Amino acid sequence: MIKITDSQNRSILAEGRNYQMGFAFCKKVTDKKFETVQPISPCKDYLNDVVYSEHTGKKITACGLKYEKTGIFGDNAYLAFKIQPRQNDKGYEIKQTNGVREYNKDKENLSKNYKNIQTLLNYVEEGLKVEKTKVVKGSDDTFLAKADKFWTSKIYLTSLYSLLIRMGQFYDGKKSPKEFLDSYNDSLDLGLWQNAKIKVEKMLGGHLPEQPFDTFKTNSDVHFNSGIVATKFD
């Protein structure tokens, strides 16, 4: 089994979303050992900060995270994800419009569906003509996606990639990936997907907007205004 070590301090973060699926980029130590370079956080905007720093070499501070380039990106990037409780808590039970979201049920569901996440990503990657992601189960209920460097070439692409993973935890494989994306209605990400879906269709049609890293003048710009929802595709 892949060992994923997470020694980062999540309590330093002022998370915009503080429960459910969390993400962190990893440093590859060996083929079987990986270490997170940031806390595994349900607020996936912290991924934006890491991508920015890795490409520009600049230190960045945003919402509690302090990060500077460590050289983790090569031909591939490694993204860890797992179901996270709220900070300083052991779980959650949250009433939503489509039922109750429970920590243990979400963990069980992810463990059951993680290979369907790979199928969903591969469907999009086939349309984009990108090397296909591999998703494996790691230690401590954590999963690892091996992504083509394409997904970290622009911040909005990393944002989309993590969104697809988070949506994909609810993909049971009974529909085609296209049918699942067309009919996605889980309240966890429905609002984000309604905005991103149109942009994905444009991407599959060959439209990939440039996103120069010097466009962002402040750290808060990178954190809040560089993802798939904020990026204009006109």
Confidence grade of residue 234 (pLDDT, cut at 50, 70, 90):
confident
Which one, of 154, 133, 193, lies nearest residue 54 by Cα? 154
Using alpha carbons, list the distances in angstroms from residue 171 to 113, 115, 127, 184, 197. 7, 9, 19, 9, 16
pLDDT tens per residue across span 150-197:
999 999 999 999 999 999 999 999 999 999 999 999 999 999 999 999
Using alpha carbons, list the distances in angstroms from residue 103 to 19, 130, 151, 155. 9, 33, 29, 29
Confidence grade of residue 91 (pLDDT, cut at 50, 70, 90):
very high
Boundaries of every domain in the chain:
3-225
Q: What is the pTM of this model?
A: 0.97
Local structure of residue 138 (DSSP, 8 states): B
Look-up: residue for tokens 């269709």? 201
